Amino acid sequence: MPTISVEQNLIRSLLAKHGLVHDVAMMDEQLPLLGTDIDTCDENVLDIEIFPDRPDLLSGETLTKAIRPFLHGVESEPSLEVMKGDISMTVDAELEHIRPVVVGAVVRGITIDGDSEEKDAFIKALMDHQEKLHFALGRGRRRASIGVHDLSTISPPFRVRAASPDTRFCPLGMDEEMSLSEMLTSHPKGVDYAHLLDGLSSFPLITDSEGQVLSFPPIINGAQTTVTHSTTDFFIEVTGWDRRACESSMMLIALQLAERGGSIETIEVNAFNGVSESLPNPEPIQHEVTQRLLDGLLGRSLSDEEIKTATNRMGGQFLGRKPADILTPNPQNRMSDVVQGDTVLTFAMPRWRFDILHPIDLVEDVAIGHGYEDLGNDVPKAPMTAIPRPDSQIRRRIRESLQGLGLMQIQSLTLSNDFDQFEAMRWPAMGEVTRITNPITIEHTLLRQYLLPGLFRLMASNRHHDLPQAVYELGTVVRNHSNGDRFAFLVAEQGGGFAAVRGRIQALMRDLGASDYTIEPLGGEMGPWLAGRCAKVMVKGEHVGCFGEMDPSVSAHYELKVPLNGAEFDIQALQSVLPDPV
């Protein structure tokens, strides 16, 4: 999850502008309900993890805007206060196949009081918010990339055009001009994001009326438009392929600046298809949800006043209820289907709430705003009689045996990554790897195929504790897109060599009732094992698992310098060759 660190003084000052008093204890107690996980909350700093479904909380300013109605009960502001501006931006027709979505806004009148350190903190917070939005909404700048510029250094109107690879300008962080093609191979940002422009013969470029380059999206801004301590007027441009992601990103940056005292102005965007629109659109989005759906999911019927209060706390407005119009069964703003006799509830939610995609999202907002503790009680309507899993007995016997050997059970995440699963462990992929299409972190990009990497990560997190340390996990892996069950253990101890781990395996096999098994040598070229100090277990000719000492070169990946030994077994393979005594 993305993490932000906010100075409590910033929250105090932003709340004070609205006549509100900052209460640290209230935030520590109630803020997690809003979609956050607080790490630290003291008088000075708020360190907070933002759940991926609330990208509108990724800056101290937008977080404070959400706090006002949620904690202090002030009236929410789902609409945006926008003034009519006179700046335009034209998108050339060639951009349709290069980077078609272009939006923008202007924010004027930002004055940051204080010394240079406080102004540096403001600029850093602005850039940090921008990068977090690139990750959360932009999917690594693919769907949306943001540029923030000092408006006083450029001359409107602006133009977004297709430029040849040999076009030159001075990029941010450099002192000399470079061509676009050179930036993609030499500039750090170009190297990181060049893959987004693969296969293109011309690249997007934003210029002003004098031909000065503002931005080479999604790579880098021009050096001349850099935001400095003296910047008071800002131009925000967002380009990409996803309209909702671009619009939400643009509005959230504008909101951050508006919370600092800026005034938002519209710009006229002339799109590649000839359509002109004034952006940002200040109006909230209206959604319709049936009362039947809301009552059915919450377990009780809420009054209009209760729904109004709950919606207000979440930053929206409840506009009332009306009979369903079955003559138009699926209007664009209706989020759930209706039947004869239904009542439809209408909500106005901020346009920057990117997370509202489904009627369940609105129902969840009402539940959070109302409070889960007052939704009533219910009992299951269907019989819940269960039967034991076919592998329940062997799983129980494995747990009892390993715990009897002094190992502690842990449960790690099923999500992992290529480095832990394959590169560090020297294991090959078993069948097709099940990958996450849109991972929220580089640490969690696939569903694990092995358990030992998770135990290595746990040992690495506890390397400051005394030895011995002995842990095991019995959990699910996913191979070839199918679930399977395995167990593994890892022991860190002085003098824990091959003899020690072999003794544990012999005790385990005895406890499982395996009389006909053999321990055979295993090469150390594959897996985390130390060559010559590892083996595999065969039961009735079936390979059920491997064990041995861990290669120090594998342990070094996790900064582990103590002797390690462990094992990993396939539960299905064990179950197929061992009788069930029960």
Q: What is the pLDDT of residues 96-126, one digit of tens each?
A: 999 999 999 999 999 888 888 889 999 999 9
* Six-digit token string for 196: 């987004």
> Which pLDDT does position 578 carry in this prediction?
87
Pairwise CA distance, residues 319 & 287, whole Å: 10
HSE at residue 458, side-chain half, CA atoms within 13 A, is: 22
**Position of tokens 């240079």?**
116
CA distances from 362 to 286, 315, 377, 444 (A): 11, 12, 21, 28
Please tell me whether residue 368 adopts helix, strand or coil conformation: helix
- What sign has the CA pseudo-torsion 131, 137, 140, 143? negative
Integer Cα distance of 533 and 535 in angstroms:
7
Query: Can you tell me the distance from the alpha carbon of 563 to that of 559, in angstroms, rounded to the nearest whole number?
Result: 12
| Distance in angstroms (rounded) separating the CA atoms of residues 279 and 521 | 69
Q: Is 199 left (phi over 0), alpha (psi -120 to 50) or beta?
A: left
pLDDT in tens, 125-163: 999 999 999 999 999 999 999 999 999 999 999 999 999
**Residues ≥6 apart with Cβ < 8 Å to 164:** 180, 202, 203
Distance of alpha carbon 250 from alpha carbon 139, whole angstroms: 15
List C-alpha distances in Å: 230 to 110, 177, 222, 418: 10, 24, 18, 45
Predicted model pTM: 0.70
Confidence grade of residue 582 (pLDDT, cut at 50, 70, 90): low
For residue range 458-512, what is the model confidence (pLDDT) as tens digits? 999 988 888 899 999 999 999 999 999 999 999 999 887 899 999 999 999 999 9
Stated length of the chain: 582
Report the percentage of the chain scoring pLDDT > 70.
96
- Average pLDDT, integer, range 555-578: 92
If you write DSSP's letter for every residue of 244-291 in order, what string do you get? HHHHHHHHHHHHHHHHTT-EEEEEEEE-TTS-EEEES--SPEEEEEEH
Contact between residue 407 and residue 471 where contact means Cβ atoms under 8 Å apart: yes
H runs (alpha helix) in 389-536: 392-404, 418, 452-461, 498-511
Model confidence at 53, pLDDT cuts 50, 70, 90, reads confident
Domains and CATH numbers, the chain: 3-72 (3.30.56.10), 82-279 (3.50.40.10), 285-373 (3.30.56.10), 392-577 (3.30.930.10)
Mean pLDDT in residue range 151-177: 94
Give the mean model confidence (pLDDT) for residues 46-74. 90
Average pLDDT over residues 202-211: 95
Q: Are 172 and 220 spatial neighbours (Cβ–Cβ below 8 Å)?
A: yes
What are the residues whose beta carbons fall under 8 Å from the beta carbon of 38, sequence distance 6 or more? 27, 28, 31, 32, 46, 47, 48, 49
In angstroms, the CA 241 to CA 87 distance is 23
pLDDT at site 514: 87
How high is the pLDDT of residue 115?
85
Q: Are strands 408-409 and 415-416 parallel, antiparallel or unpaired?
A: unpaired
Query: Cβ contacts of residue 326 below 8 Å, gap of 6+?
Result: 338, 339, 340
Residue 278 has pLDDT above 90, yes or no: yes
d(CA 210, CA 212): 6
Averaged pLDDT, 196-221: 95
Amino acid letter for position 424: A
Write the pLDDT tens digit of every residue in 4-39.
Answer: 888 888 898 999 988 988 888 788 778 877 777 787
Could you give the CA distance from residue 91 to residue 98 in angstroms, rounded to a whole number? 11
Q: Is the Cβ–Cβ distance between 471 and 507 less than 8 Å? A: no
Q: Distance of alpha carbon 275 from its chain centroid, rounded?
A: 34
Instruction: Check residue 1 and give its pLDDT.
Output: 63
User: What pLDDT score does 417 carry?
Assistant: 93
